Structure 1
Amino acid sequence: MNLEPLTPTAQAPATNFTGRVYVNPLHAKQEPSQLIASIVRFTPGARTNWHSHANGQLLHCTDGSGLVVTRDGTVIRMRAGDTVWTAPGEEHWHGGTSQNMMCHIAMLEGSDGGDGTTWLEPVADEEYQAAQA
């Protein structure tokens, strides 16, 4: 057993996110575990690109209000205490609402020596606005 060290907050890369998004890694893979976990904070209007995870992803909202949206148009509005599972390979995006920040803990299992995430195109402003309705 050990106490994990506190990690510095970093701004998420603009290549995979729109708006201001901040990340604090909580846990990186430590063999034999493939667990990866981070605290992710989205400012209003900020969001991920479309993406999927080889082994799925669990999102637990700790503060604020946010959205999780899948390619089939399903929209889930997350609030503090809510948990959303995205299935392996399911293309989705998540982020804050247009008027609220959202913070979640993102948990996933790595794959093939990496984190198993396939990053896709940015979410168009029109797609983002439609999810708000």
Structure 2
Amino acid sequence: MVDKRKASVLVDYGMPFEVKEFDVPTPGPGCLVVEIDVATVCGSDVHVWRGHLKGVLPINPPLILGHEMVGRIVAFGEGAELDTLGAPLALGDRVVWAHAPCGRCVECTVLHQAQLCRSRYVAYLNDCSVPPHFT
């Protein structure tokens, strides 16, 4: 039986959110599955909902908004047992993140400036109907 979770989905700009059910994905190499405990709604979420960033960023509904959250690790993909500083992670550990850097470019590995990574995963740019669904 596939594990499922619900999320509020922005189906169109300015419209009410719809609660939809999604399969929890199996984590790929270097990935984690995190069960979200708390997520915030910030100004950028409101701008996305209103459609203000349409044409500025490649953001198209359906989307699960939110990019500031905390949760607990519930599954590891191969090679994902260390955090970005090399400290070990364990099931149940509480984690927080905003954007996921690639960990392979010069900015990530040499400069140690992951915020400059040009290949980072950024919230909102992925269609929530395609796994991994969430941020």
TM-score, with structure 2 as normaliser: 0.32
Q: Larger C-alpha radius of gyration, 1 or 2?
A: 2
- Greater RCO (CA < 8 Å, at least 6 residues apart): 1
TM-score, with structure 1 as normaliser: 0.33
Normalized per residue, which structure has more strand? 1
Normalized per residue, which structure has more helix? 2
